[in-house]
Chains A and B, each alone.
Chain A
Amino acid sequence: MNYVERMQRVAVLGAAGKMGSGILFLNLVECADLSLLPENKGKTFIVYAVDISEEALDGLLMYVKSQLRKVAEKKINWLREVYQSRQDLIENAEIINEYIDYVLSKLRLVTTIESSYNANIIFEAIKEDPHLKVSVLKNINENNKNKPWFFTNTSSIPIQYLNEQANLEGRIIGYHFYNPPVVQKLVELISAKNTLPEIKEFSYKLAERLNKTIVESNDIVGFIGNGHFMRDILHAVNEVNNLLNKFTFPEAVYIMNKVSQEYLIRPMGIFQLIDYVGIDVCSYIMNVMSEHLKDNNLKCNLLENMLANGIKGGQYADGSQKDGFLKYDKGKIVGVYDINSNQYIPLSDIQEKCDAALGQKPQKLIPWKTLINQKDKEPILTEIFNEMKNINTLGSKLAITYGLKSKEIAKNLVTSGVAKTEEDVNKVLITGFYHAYGPINNFFD
């Protein structure tokens, strides 16, 4: 089966979830685009969106439709070529509408797992639960006569574990997209011990077609991305605890969120990122990592306490942010959670005091949005962080320590064999987390 033949039947499991919907969308567009090529005329392409929730599938259709329009508008030049012989399609709007309808015609929304018995390849993006994953993969493998290939989006479970437990004979690979899959360029690729070489080859071909960058990670739980992120969380929480002798809990959270975003020039502060991913998801990944790595340091009581209070973060079906460590209004941070009183403190109540405590902001500091568009970032960053090293404010000190810790975590990922090279770690943070610079650098030394 060549690439195109394999793409003729795709199933995405958990297709209505946060990651699943993006993975579904990317595959759907790829299948439709392949089918529009003259050499594939007459071939049928079908993408099964499998999810247990009918409500979520309903929302998925709306999501796919709105994303499709954006995609179609961007590739209008290509679409005009594709529809050149259709005399009835003249204006851009007509062509775009036709394309949207056409792509949707490749989509099957289903709630039953049986549909994936027909698929050649299966993308798995269901709940991050090892037992559930194993039973689903096993079920499909036993009932699907095509000897399907499995692409799992797990961010924490070893691929070898899934391979063995579900008897997949090496027909599985970790194909870990970053959130949101439609936007983030990174795919972490993780092979099990006996993953078939042709699956790996296919993986690269698919990534190229989807315009994604692959970084290979070794099969150690957490892989590179979460291997860094989880320890980054632990550092931030540790700093919050240190700050508690001078600040209240919400103040400390505000301070660390601000330092990790504005001072380190990242797209989001650490606590906003935890909310974005979901406190429950973060806690879950950390526990799985702790268990597999037998590392008791990979524990975070704060996350557990938040969950015990019913604070979970994550997103609503329409993609808007749920409250977590921070409170949001139309995507903007407006408050910080106080774990003692179990309520949100308005930002305006603490901002002034905390900003004053952080001290004079470095003058050279620029927002992430500005930095990300600069061609040569190195000299700009050197200048900014040199200034930071020379001013003795709380904000600068926290930032420098944070940057150094992030570097240490990243380096450990290489020495402990998770990542193959330092470059790979930097690539993951830049393409998967949208950082403007990699954690392994000399800015903070």
Chain B
Amino acid sequence: MRKKVFLTAGYNTISMGSGRKEFNPKLPRPELEDYIKEAGQGVIKQIPDASLIDEVIISNFMAARYNKQANLAAFAPYIDEKLRYKPATRVEGACGSGGLALAVAIKTILSDFADVILVIGVEVQNTVKAVYGSDILAGAGWFKDRKNGHAHYFPGKFSERAGKYFEKFGRLDTRKAMATWYKNAIENARLCPTAQEYHNTTPDLFSLAMTEPNPKVFLDNLTVYDCSKVSDGASAVLVVSEEGLKKIGKSYSDAVEIIGIGQAIDDITKAPQDLTQLLTTKEAVNKALNMAGVSKDDIATIECHDCFTIAGIMSVEAIGLANHGEGWKFVLDGHTSREGKIPFNTTGGLIGWGHPVGATGIHQAVTIWEQLTGKANQAQIKINKPYGLSVNMGGDDKTVTSIVYKKI
């Protein structure tokens, strides 16, 4: 990094959808612009004045279809009229949109164009039933592959991955690890009031998640418990230079430093090279850790992209915490739980907190910021190592951004 970049003043709305007590698909709910406004104002309230913001970046996947709305950058002044005539950009990279938005913000700071950037991620998905939502989400893959895909296109993709992993490394053990992943996710979500699974009271989560998949109604190798949820929500955060940090009157202890970023993409028209690995994720994480000069052993907590439980297990391997084919064991041994060696997804991740697609990458950054600055309230883990890591993945391991954060 040619100069220091910080992240501060994070805010998450509730991740709304099935599982939340207040969610009723038949009643009117907050809409796209409401979420953008809530998240944006949630950040602005933490600084002296909105005019201190130099630029806005909005990340979102498919508002054009979910909400029939494009040109999202122009919602910035709707948050606060002091943002009128400021530069704003909308960024899209499917489920990896948030990571890309942070990357754009970091680069903008590094290029001296701005000192204070408001980054907002948003998605409002409950406008359509899941069966039609699957069509929309399929846009994260190559459309020419849609016809041959499963009705639930992406779950279908990861069901295939899970099937291959089962075949190579054992079905029962892997399913137990997936159930453990689910259990950890829900238990963490129960500690975070904005999480979609915050109200979950199921007593025996592990047994529930061991329910056998039913290909007739859903998929060959995954159940609904293996899938992240359909969510409405937004997250926002400030990416700032050292000067920016002073301008907004924040102390170092309120911020984390971004010391490494790794981006990697793979060809969307090609099937994964190896169904049992997330090779693009691996590449992005390596780049980020190398840039930061940090070893994976120095990391206190990780937010990974567990759009499916099997993706969580494969992420553990891609990050290098377990060898290929041994990620299930690492999870089953409890190393990724909040008391484990390296707590993953401490507010529930995509499975437990929710997956408002365009917001997810930002939500991950906000969670790491909360943990490293001691602002995670009930969900707070003990931080005795200085670094955090996030991995945000778009599509089937296609558009990946990984970021290394340092506690100051």
Contacts and interface: CB of A to CB of B under 8 A. Distances in A.
B147 interface: yes
A87 interface: yes
B135 A80 contact: no
Nearest to B129: A73
A92 interface: yes
Given A92-B132, A92-B134, A76 B147 contact: no
A91 B129 contact: no
Nearest to A86: B147
B27 interface: no
A93 interface: yes
Given A90-B146, A90-B147, A76 B131 contact: yes
A79 B151 CA distance: 9
B151 A76 contact: yes
B217 A77 contact: yes
Nearest to A95: B151
A96 B132 CA distance: 10
B376 to A, nearest CB: 35
B273 to A, nearest CB: 26
A92 B217 CA distance: 15
Nearest to B134: A92
Nearest to A96: B131
Contacts of A73: 129, 131
B150 to A, nearest CB: 8
The residue among A77, A92, A96 with the most chain B CB atoms within 10 A of its own CB is: A92
A80 B146 contact: no
Interface string B123-167: 000000101101100100001001100110000000000000000
Interface in A64-105: 73, 76-77, 79-80, 87, 90-93, 96
Interface in A244-280: none
A319 to B, nearest CB: 16
Interface string B22-44: 00000000000000000000000
Given A73-B129, A77-B216, A92 B147 contact: no
Contacts of A96: 131
Contact of A91 (B146, B216, B217): B146
A92 B216 contact: no
Contacts of A87: 147
A94 to B, nearest CB: 8
Contacts of B147: 87, 90
Contact of B135 (A77, A79, A92): A92
A91 B145 CA distance: 11
Nearest to B132: A93
B163 to A, nearest CB: 16
B18 to A, nearest CB: 16
A77 B217 CA distance: 7
A80 B151 contact: yes
Interface centre among B131, B132, B151 (most CB of A within 10 A): B151
A92 B131 CA distance: 7
Given A77-B216, A77-B217, A91 B135 contact: yes
A87 B151 CA distance: 15
Contacts of A76: 131, 151
Interface string A323-365: 0000000000000000000000000000000000000000000
A420 to B, nearest CB: 33
B151 A77 contact: yes
A68 to B, nearest CB: 14
A87 B147 CA distance: 8
A267 to B, nearest CB: 20
Contacts of A90: 143, 146-147
Contacts of B150: 77, 80
Contacts of B131: 73, 76, 92, 96
B295 to A, nearest CB: 45
A93 B128 CA distance: 11
Contacts of A79: 151
B260 to A, nearest CB: 39
Interface string B317-347: 0000000000000000000000000000000
A374 B277 CA distance: 40
A93 B216 CA distance: 19
A96 B216 CA distance: 17
Interface in B213-250: 216-217
A93 B135 contact: yes
Contacts of A80: 150-151
A211 B146 CA distance: 31
Contacts of B138: 91
A91 B131 CA distance: 10
A87 B143 CA distance: 13
B280 to A, nearest CB: 26
Nearest to B133: A92
Contacts of A92: 131-132, 134-135, 151
Q: Top 10 nearest A-B pairs by Cβ distance? A: A91-B135, A76-B151, A73-B131, A90-B147, A92-B135, A77-B151, A90-B146, A80-B151, A92-B131, A93-B132
Interface of A: 73, 76-77, 79-80, 87, 90-93, 96
Interface of B: 129, 131-132, 134-135, 138, 143, 146-147, 150-151, 216-217
18 contacts: A73-B129, A73-B131, A77-B151, A77-B216, A77-B217, A79-B151, A80-B150, A87-B147, A90-B143, A90-B146, A91-B135, A91-B138, A92-B131, A92-B132, A92-B134, A92-B135, A92-B151, A96-B131
Given A80-B150, A92-B151, 6 more contacts: A73-B131, A76-B151, A90-B146, A91-B135, A92-B135, A93-B135
